[in-house]
Amino acid sequence: MPEIAEARLTREQQQKFLAEDRNQTLRNAAIAAWIIILMVPTCTMLDYAAYPEHYWTFLLLRILCALSGIPILVALKQNWAKANYRIFPVILPVIPAMFIGLMIYISGESHSSYYAGLTLCIVGTSFVFHWTYKELAWTQGIVIAIYLAATIPNLKPNGDIRVLGLFVNNTIFIVLNCIILFISSKHHYAIRIREFVGRCRVEQQNQE
């Protein structure tokens, strides 16, 4: 994590910070996996209201998405997860984003309102994980790529201009959310470092 070096922590503080970050990330990864397992299938009511003709197809996709959380829970208990724990903040939001992208593509609508689900994958995960700049950039880039791959094939050159307007509107909304999250993550990281340094000082004073 190059951001730690920029924070000017001592070597001992860096090691302690990384240990805390690893434990929090693994614990939060389990929470995110359970959210996928429990919440994704319950959103099937949205499919019934928005795309009743694709209800059973979307239900199958939601079940497969929920089942994908089980291998993650198993992986979190393995030793290699501790050494590679930083991959989970990227993998966990991308998994539901892939299935949402499939739903958007199957719907045949470039202006599908399910773009909000992709935004939720990013924003919701930001409340669960402490992203690094690199992880956030990778996650946002992958989600945007999924969105474009799902919507651009459904664009019709001679289609309704209002549909194109909605597509542009949705795209801008997703991009703006990504920009805001990227900027706010920098400030959030600085706050985490200050809180950590403050705790270290209090602990040192108590020991003295």
pLDDT tens-place values along the chain, 208 residues long = 545 444 566 677 777 777 888 888 899 899 999 999 999 999 999 999 999 999 999 999 999 999 999 999 999 989 898 888 888 988 999 999 999 999 999 999 999 999 999 998 888 777 777 777 778 888 889 999 999 999 999 988 776 788 888 999 999 999 998 888 877 777 777 777 777 777 777 777 777 6
**CA–CA distance, 132 with 180 (Å, rounded to integer):** 15
Q: Report the predicted TM-score, pTM, of the whole model to 2 decimal places.
A: 0.84
Sole residue written with tokens 């996709």: 61
Residues present in the chain in total: 208
Helix axes 115-126, 88-107, angle to 10 degrees: 170
**CA–CA distance, 58 with 142 (Å, rounded to integer):** 22
User: Encoding tokens for residue 96?
Assistant: 């539901």
Query: Are 72 and 34 a contacting pair, CB within 8 Å?
Result: no
